[in-house]
Amino acid sequence: MPKTVDNGYYLPGELIKDINSKDKQTIIGPGLRRNDEEPNTLIATQAGTLVFRPPNTYWIESRRNRYIPKKGDYVVGIITKKSGDTLRVDVGGAEPASLSMLAFEGATKKMKPDVNVGDTVFARVLNAHKEMEPELVCVDQYGKSGRLGVLSNDGFLVHVKQRLVQTLLNPENPLLRTIARKFPYEIVIGVNGKVWIKANQARDVLVLCRAFEAAEFESEKGIIEACRQQK
């Protein structure tokens, strides 16, 4: 179950010490970045409370609704503008991110993907600096797309809070598995709070959305107990 550590409320730029992660493999979520100058420490990039999920995941839980891009994040966004070989993508940040038409698997100057304004994409944040707009790519470090790329227009895009994003991305949380026993669906979760859902029927999507709304007000322990009752 996630817990606040040190009862700490941090401001952007503050140092977070004494990070205790299993095997020293720390996974960091929204609101944090690694401190290369001092081992076993992190730096807050947004104001909020430090939260820890055993064995090794940390993030900042904030009331801020605006997403702050961080290198390596996987995000869901909407294409808002197409100019030459560059796409502008709304990922919920202070400004749109850029996505090159060549940043897709197999893309070349002559063979470009079919991407249009209004499309939804699943992408990885390649660069994120305060002085520059975030840069996205739809390939991994080996140039493969995996699940990255343009998402089907048959899906629905919903928005959830950062706290719920961490719950949904936790492989030990049974919420998504429990719903999957009721009906089949596809889901893509961006750490920016945008979630793409595709199901056979619109009412199934509605069930998922209602489940997410209920989960936002439940503790992780409460969610697990509710899922057990559905077995």
- pLDDT tens digits, one per residue of 96-125: 999 999 999 988 888 888 899 999 999 999
One-letter identity of residue 66 = R
Tens-digit pLDDT profile for residues 136-148? 999 988 778 888 9
pLDDT of res. 229: 65
5 has a pLDDT exceeding 80: no
Q: What is the mean pLDDT of the chain?
A: 83
- In a shared domain, residues 42 and 80: no
Separation of alpha carbons 199 and 205, rounded Å: 6
Whether 170 and 223 share a structural domain:
yes
> d(Cα 23, Cα 111) in Å, to the nearest integer?
44
Question: What pLDDT shows up at residue 206?
Answer: 87
Judge if 27 and 92 occupy the same domain. Answer: no
Q: At 144, which CATH number?
A: 2.40.50.140
Domain annotation covers residue 25:
yes
Residue 67 lies in a domain: no
Nearest residue to 27 (alpha-carbon basis) of 61, 56, 4, 62? 56
- Same domain assignment for residues 89 and 129: yes
Q: With 90 as the cut, is the pLDDT of residue 43 above it?
A: no
Of 103, 128, 151, the last residue of a domain is 151
Lowest mean pLDDT among 2-11, 35-44, 80-89, 208-217: 2-11
- pTM of the complete model: 0.72
Instruction: Note whether residue 137 is domain-resident.
Output: yes
* Per-residue pLDDT at 185: 93
Mark whether 84 and 114 lie in a shared domain: yes
The boundaries of the domain holding residue 213 are: 156-229
On whether both 129 and 166 belong to a single domain, the answer is no
Tell me what pLDDT residue 22 has.
Answer: 54
> In this structure, is residue 164 part of a structural domain?
yes
Question: Same domain, yes or no, for 13 and 40?
Answer: yes
Strand-pair category, 57-61 with 27-28: parallel
Q: What is the pLDDT of residue 231?
A: 54
Structural domain contains residue 127: yes
Give yes or no: residues 169 and 214 share one domain. yes
CATH number at residue 47: 2.40.50.100
Cβ contacts of residue 196 below 8 Å, gap of 6+? Answer: 76, 120, 122, 151, 155, 156, 157, 187, 188, 190
Q: DSSP readout, 33-82?
A: EE-TTSTT-EEESSSEEEEEETTTEEEEE-S--S----TT-EEEEEEEEE
Q: What is the pLDDT of residue 76?
A: 95
Domain count, the chain: 3
- Select from 100, 122, 151 the last residue of a domain: 151
Confidence at residue 148, expressed as pLDDT on a 0 to 100 scale: 93
**pLDDT at residue number 55:** 75
